[in-house]
């Protein structure tokens, strides 16, 4: 069995783009937690937050993770808050190697500033919010097996580093 490749990290750290590149290169399927939640609920993440609140979104996220963490040989693209839940982290680690895609708040801000689909960053001072959330979340992200710094790196470079790790032995 090949372990799952699980990408974790803050919004805008490049998880989705890197996941697609890895999938193409390693010929594996990508499962995105957000994508599966959107499909299951039939509405966008922003609408789920608006209609039923973050707690409900987190409940869906836990259910989706409980299901996909059991797969094998896939790439899992996790929403930025997924591993704040201890049980999610434990389940993802059972069959996966976790990669934390790290970036500074400034780089994250540059990547997300024109995007509007993330309810947690739709606020008057997104830069302050990024700094605050990232400080609180870093200890959770650092529970990953490997840290890939993505500052100033293309998705292709980040992907290459991950492939080197999963294929070494």
Q: Are 61 and 38 in contact (CB under 8 A)?
A: no
Q: Given the rule CB under 6 A, which of 65-73, 86-94, 118-126, 160-168 is the region that contacts ligand S3P?
A: 118-126
CB of 117 vs ligand S3P, minimal distance in Å:
8
Q: Which two tokens stand for residue 156?
A: 């292709």
Residues 77-116 that bind ligand S3P (CB under 6 A): 79-81
Alpha carbon distance 150, 142 (integer Å) = 15
Based on CB atoms, which residue is closest to ligand S3P, 80 or 96? 80
**Is residue 120 a contact residue for ligand S3P (CB under 6 A)?**
yes
Number of residues this chain uses to bind ligand S3P (CB under 6 A): 10
Tally of CB atoms within 10 A around 91 = 18
Q: Are 31 and 71 in contact (CB under 8 A)?
A: yes
Site for ligand S3P, rule CB under 6 A: 11, 15, 34, 45, 79-81, 118-120
């Amino acid at each position: 069995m090949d372990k799952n490749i699980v990408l974790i990290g803050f919004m805008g750290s490049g998880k989705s783009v890197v996941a697609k590149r890895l999938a193409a290169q390693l010929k594996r399927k990508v499962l995105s937690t957000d994508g599966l939640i959107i499909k299951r609920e039939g509405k966008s993440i922003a609408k789920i937050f608006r209609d039923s609140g973050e707690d409900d979104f987190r409940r869906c996220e836990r259910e989706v993770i409980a299901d996909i963490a059991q797969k094998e040989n896939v790439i899992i693209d996790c929403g930025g808050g997924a591993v704040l839940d201890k049980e999610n982290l434990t389940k993802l680690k059972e069959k996966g190697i976790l990669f934390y895609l790290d970036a500074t708040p400034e780089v994250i801000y540059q990547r997300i500033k024109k995007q509007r689909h993330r309810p947690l960053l739709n606020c008057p001072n997104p830069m302050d919010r990024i700094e605050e959330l990232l400080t609180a979340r870093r200890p959770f992200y650092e529970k990953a097996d490997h840290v890939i710094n993505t500052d100033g790196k293309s998705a292709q470079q980040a992907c290459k580093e991950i492939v080197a790790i999963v294929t070494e032995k």
